[in-house]
Amino acid sequence: MYWSELAWIVPILPLIAFVLIGFLGNKLFKKIENGGYLAIGMAAISCFLSLMIAYEILTGSYPGGVYKTSFEWLVVDGFTFNMGIYIDTLTAVMLIVVSFVATLVVIYSIGYMHEEGERKRRYYAVISLFIGVMLGLVLASNYLQMFIFWELVGLCSYLLIGFWNTKPSAASAAKKAFLVTRIGDIMFMLGLFILFVGFGGNLDFDYIFNNVDAFVGGNELLTLGTFFIFGGAIGKSAQFPLHDWLPDAMEGPTTVSALIHAATMVKAGVYLVARSYPIMVETPETMLIVAIIGGFTALFAASMALNNPNIKRVLAYSTISQLGYMFLALGAGGYLYAHTAEFNVGFTAGMFHLMNHAFFKALLFLSAGAVIHAVHTEDMRLMGGLSNKLKITSFVMLIGCISIAGIPPFSGFWSKDLVLEAAFEAGEANGIFYLLYAMGLITAFMTAFYMFRLWFMTFKGEPRDHHAYEHAHEAPKVMWVPLAILAALAFGSGFALFMGFETTVLPPLPHFEPHGAEGVIGILEAFFTNWMTYASIIAAVLGIFLAYVMYYKKTVSADIILNTSAGKKMYDLLLARYGFTAGYDIIGLKVVYGFSRLVDWFDRKVIDGIVNLFATIAVKGSNVMRRGQTGLVQTYAAMIVLGVSLIVILLFYFGGLI
């Protein structure tokens, strides 16, 4: 009996919670937070099972190392579609991240959502649904099944962004998220069609990964297929140019931002690319695109976080930027592997950063939630000095900030360093990776700067809004305990590297033998004899120092930049998100609406015109014809005589009767 054989229960439990809370929440659970405790219970059991399964797979105690099972779901036209479960080390990491963060976030929600009344039923129901389908996505054994859950997490995201659906901004943000990610989903679907055709109708991971060479249609078609699959990841993981929905998604409750838009759902895109690694590495062009998009997005999104006054938006841009890091690592690793088929750190770096980021970003979001809970505003210009009031929150958030900034030995340092190393390493194969490395390094500097700007503006200095400051209070225990657990992980999850993360979480690729440094001393030595490590530490420290002098000491003011016209323009450009929002509006209003009006005109004037023309002809013509019906019997008789005479004459002339 292995724990992995119970994997099917993992996504089922939260789904049961969804059904119970969704339909009976306000009746059965009115006294107990409208089902909140049920959601916690189910999530916790799932989490326990997930941890046991992950432990079993990661330690290799399951024979063969990969648990797979499936049953026939549909047979259409000779094609068989399966449903099943596929657990390898990658799945195991995702299981830990998703179930653990989800459980903590639901616990935290008890405090954060306490004042929402009857709407809590909807909240807990949907969040249970989300946990269930997200675990289903992670456990899926084929692309079709994954796609189904992929769409379902998108639905949950939509429902939760629009949780306060009476607020127009939340409603429109939900619609935007749904529509923008849909573009990615369509590309994902196209990619699936290509794979479906190429692999003879079999979309099982197990089959595809072991028979990559069986692809029919040549490498060009496969490149197109992997590119479209990455297109799905762009949409879900909010990469350039489909990134713009994520900052708007902050209209939802902060817990939702933490769980869905930072720790789990947006990672689905990274997971998809990592999952498809065996076919992705066959197409180095796609891997190059993945890396370029990732590296560019990292810098691009980080720059927008530099001056944003909204605490959650800064974190949202930071999430996009960090997701870009993960894609950069995956792309660089895959590209290098395609050229020299041996171990490189790219894949591991991406997944390692995914795990660490899930913990420290969930921590940062939940801490921001505690701040918002205390002062009832998201505008950092109205905060300040809160560390006197929110001692625990400010402390755990500081841990999160240090971690994401990349100061050793916090977790963010290890994974960010590996990401940059992977990017630099791939420079051997293609010079563009040196540029991407430089962008990554600048991003590291920016990350440190904007995170500490956030922290100093929120917690240090003089309170800028005294009313809010007076009423601020520390979060209740149910909120700060999850924060403390996450803080411990944000500090310590990087040590997984010393427990053999690098040699355990490997893509299912041939000749991919880990030869990374062994043992704690070996890894430490590899890290601290590398100049890149010092480069990224210096970048981080510089960023923190700049934030310190600008927002704590205030010896250097941002006005220096603002007073120059170019600086002011840049500032406005960043706040306007490089015009992307306006661009969407232009596309939506001018292009699409204009085109729609043209089509409307064509429909009204030409199509309807033709139809109306026939109708008019019929009406006018009938009006003339009906006058033939006089009601006089002799007219009719005359017609009959005329007709019969005509027939007779015709018969005589043409019928040959003469």
Q: Which residues contact 651 (CB under 8 A, 6 or more apart)?
A: 657
Rounded to the nearest angstrom, the gap between the alpha carbon of residue 362 and the centroid of all alpha carbons in its chain is 14
Is residue 641 at the binding interface for another protein, with CB under 8 A as the rule?
Answer: yes
Q: At what angle do helices 477-492 and 411-425 cross, to 10 degrees?
A: 40
Instruction: Compute how many residues bind another protein; rule: CB under 8 A.
Output: 11
Residue whose C-alpha is closest to residue 527's, from 559, 553, 495, 552: 495
Q: In this chain, which stretch among 136-144, 262-270, 327-335, 630-638 interacts with another protein, using CB under 8 A?
A: 630-638
| Beta-bridge partners for 67 | 87
Name beta bridge partners: 82.
72
Q: Which 3 state secondary structure label does DSSP give 67?
A: strand
Q: How far is the CB of 655 from another protein (least distance, A)?
A: 20
Question: According to CB under 8 A, which one of 75, 619, 632, 657 is a site residue for another protein?
Answer: 632
Instruction: Identify which of residues 610 and 646 has a Cβ nearer to another protein in the complex.
Output: 646
Whichever of 566 and 624 has its CB closer to another protein, that residue is 624
The full DSSP string for 357-412 is HHHHHHHHHHHHHHHHHHHS--BGGG---GGGT-HHHHHHHHHHHHHHHT-TTSHH
User: Facing residues of 85 across strands?
Assistant: 69, 140
Of the two residues 74 and 637, which places its CB atom closer to another protein in the complex? 637
- Rounded to the nearest whole angstrom, what is the least distance from the CB of residue 617 to another protein in the complex? 19
Can you tell me which residue has the tokens 């019969």? 644
Binding test (CB under 8 A) with another protein, winner from 1, 566, 624, 633: 633
Q: Report the half-sphere exposure of 334 (CA within 13 A, side-chain side).
A: 30
Burial of 597 (0-12, 13-18, 19+ CB in 10 A): exposed
626 is an interface residue for another protein by CB under 8 A: yes
Give the whole-angstrom CA distance, residue 345 versus residue 429: 14
Task: Work out whether 657 is an interface residue with another protein (CB under 8 A).
Answer: no
Q: Any idea of the CA torsion for 450, 454, 457, 458, to the nearest 10 degrees?
A: 180
- Report the nearest approach of another protein to the CB of residue 632 (Å): 5
- Residue from 631, 656, 657, 658 touching another protein (CB under 8 A): that is 631
| The one among 499, 637, 646, 651 contacting another protein by CB under 8 A | 637
Q: Which of 431, 627, 654, 656 binds another protein (CB under 8 A)?
A: 627
Identity of the residue, 27 or 627, whose beta carbon is nearer to another protein in the bound complex: 627
DSSP one-letter string for 573-593: HHHTGGGHHHHHHIIIIIIIH
Residue 511 in contact with another protein, rule: CB under 8 A:
no
Quote the least distance from Cβ 634 to another protein, whole Å: 6
Distance separating alpha carbons of residues 360 and 263, to the nearest angstrom: 9
In the complex with another protein, the residue whose CB is nearer, 587 or 638, is 638
Closer residue to another protein, CB minimum distance, 27 or 626: 626
Within positions 363 to 382, which residues make up the interface with another protein, using CB under 8 A? none
* Secondary structure (DSSP) of 523-555: HHHHHHT-HHHHHHHHHHHHHHHHHHHHHTS-S
Q: Which residue of 27, 630, 654, 656 would you call a contact of another protein, by CB under 8 A?
A: 630
Q: In the bound complex, what is the minimum distance in angstroms from residue 637's beta carbon to another protein?
A: 6
Phi-psi bin for 202: left (phi > 0), alpha (psi -120 to 50), beta? beta
Q: Is 565 in the site for another protein (CB under 8 A)?
A: no
In Å, the largest CA–CA distance within the chain is 122
- To another protein, the closest distance from the beta carbon of 626 in angstroms equals 4
| Contact between 610 and another protein per CB under 8 A | no
**By CB under 8 A, is residue 656 in contact with another protein?**
no
Q: Is 658 in the site for another protein (CB under 8 A)?
A: no
Question: Which range, of 72-80, 476-484, 571-579, 621-629, touches another protein by CB under 8 A?
Answer: 621-629
For residue 653, the minimal CB distance to another protein (Å) is 19
The CB-of-615 to another protein minimum distance in angstroms stands at 20
Which class for 574: exposed (0-12), middle (13-18), buried (19 or more C-beta within 10 A)?
A: middle
Q: How many residues does the chain have?
A: 658
Query: Using CB under 8 A, which of the segments 125-133, 191-199, 583-591, 631-639 binds another protein?
Result: 631-639
Interface of this chain with another protein, residues 569 to 608, rule: CB under 8 A: none
Cα distance between residue 343 and residue 336, in whole Å: 9
For the record, the structure tokens of 364 come out as 């940062």
Residues of span 175-234 touching another protein by CB under 8 A: none
538 contributes a contact to another protein by CB under 8 A = no
Give the residue with the Cβ less far from another protein, 74 or 640.
640
Among 213, 619, 634, 657, binds another protein (CB under 8 A): 634
List all residues 6 or more positions away from 67 whose beta carbon is below 8 Å from its beta carbon: 2, 4, 5, 7, 53, 57, 85, 86, 87, 88
- Toward another protein, which CB reaches closer, 555 or 634? 634
Q: Note whether 624 binds another protein by CB under 8 A.
A: no
Nearer to another protein, 610 or 641 (CB): 641
For another protein, give the closer residue by CB, 76 or 632. Answer: 632
Residues near another protein (CB under 8 A): 626-627, 629-634, 637-638, 641
